[in-house]
Amino acid sequence: MAWASTGSSNAELIDNMLRNGILGEVVGEVVDGSQSEAEAASDRVARAMKKVDRANYVRDKRDAYQDSPQSIGHGATISAPHMHAYAASHLLPYLPPGGRVLDVGSGSGYLSAVFYHLINDPHGEIQSLSSPHTKSKPLVTGIEHIAQLTDWSVSNLKRDGLGEALETGQIDMVTGDGRLGYPPNAPYNAIHVGAAAPELPQELVDQLAPGGRMFIPIGTHLQNIYHINKDETGKVTQTEVMGVRYVPLTDRKLQEEH
Ligand code: SAH
C-alpha cells in the first residue's frame, strides 16, 4: 500500500497518500480521539506536506514524486514520502504552534521544512502543550554530520521558499554529530531521528522537553521505530512502533568510507 502513492505532481503524491489511508491510518494510531479529530490531524499533515515541494530536495527531479527513498550522495538517502508522513504524523501532537523540534540526520532538509510548516500552521493546535518556546530560539533545528549535505539542505530550503525563515533564525541547519543532539537550542518538544541508532542516545533523551516525544529508529540489522515519551515529571517511557530500514546513525568517517 505504502508504495502505491507515487504521483505525477507533489499535490497528487500527497492526495494519493491521503486516499490510500496512510496519513489517516497513522494519525488514527497516535491521536487519541474521535474519527473527526483523526481526519483533522491527517489534513494538517497533508497541508504541511503540500507546502514542501519534494522536487526541491532530490538530486534527480524525475524521481521527485516517487514514493521511494532516493540517494542524495555521501551514503545518505532522502526517505520515502510515506516515511516522512509517518514521522510527521507520529510527532504531530508534540508540534504545537511555537513549539520546538530537532531533526537529527536532516539530510536533504525535506522533513525540517515539513516540521516548520506544521509548527507555523495557524489551525494546528490539537492539544494544548506547555511549550518552552522563547522568541530567541529557533523553531526547527536540523543537525547533519556531512557539511556538504547541510549546505545543500540550506539551498534546498531557500529554493522551497524558506529563505526568510533561515535568515530570521526560525530554522537553524547545523553541522555536527547528531548523537549528541544540539544543546544550544534545547529543550525540544519533539525530536526526530532520521538514521538508525545502535542504541538510544542519552543526550537526546536529556534534551527532550517534559511532555515531549522522540521518534527514533533503533537497531542495526533489525531496526524498529520507538516512541520515547517524557512526561511532565521527567519520567521516560519507550514504545516499539514498527519495523523499518534506515541508514545508520554513525561516525562521519565510517559513513564516508562506505
Ligand atoms: N530525513 C533525511 C534523512 C537522510 S538519511 C531526509 O529525508 O533527507 C540520514 C541522514 O543522517 C544522512 O544524511 C546522514 O548523513 C545523517 N547522519 C548519520 N549519522 C549521523 C550523525 N551521527 N550525526 C548527524 N547526522 C548523521
pLDDT above 90 (res 91): yes
- 182-241 per-position pLDDT tens digit: 999 999 999 999 999 999 999 999 999 999 999 999 999 999 999 999 999 999 999 999
Any ligand 1 atom below 6 A from CB of 182: no
SS (H, E, C) the chain: CHHHHCCCCHHHHHHHHHHCCHHHHHHHHHCCCCHHHHHHHHHHHHHHHHCCCHHHHCCCHHHCCCCCCEEEECCEEECCHHHHHHHHHHHHHHCCCCCCEEEECCCCCHHHHHHHHHHCCCCCCCCCCCCCCCCCCCCEEEEECCHHHHHHHHHHHHHHHHHHHHHCCCEEEEECCHHHCCHHHCCEEEEEECCEECCCCHHHHHCEEEEEEEEEEEECCCEEEEEEEECCCCCEEEEEEEEECCCECCCHHHHHHC
**Bigger pLDDT: 228 or 21?**
228
CB of 177 within 6 A of ligand 1: the answer is yes
Spatial contact of 216 and 137, defined as CB atoms under 8 Å apart:
no
| Residue 216 in contact with ligand 1 by CB distance below 6 A | no
pLDDT at residue 134 above 80?
no
Closest residue by Cα to residue 119 from 109, 104, 105, 129: 129
156 pLDDT more than 50: yes
Residue from 110, 249, 256, 257 whose mutation best tests the ligand 1 pocket (most atoms within 8 A of CB)? 249
In this predicted structure, the answer to whether residue 180 has a pLDDT above a threshold of 90 is yes
Distance 193 CA to ligand 1 centre (A): 8
Question: Bigger pLDDT: 104 or 34?
Answer: 104
pTM of the predicted structure, to 2 decimals? 0.93
Ligand 1 and 145: CB distance under 6 A: yes
> Is residue 77 very low, low, confident or very high in pLDDT (cuts 50, 70, 90)?
very high
Residues with active-site annotation: 79
- Distance (Å) from CA 112 to ligand 1 centroid: 12
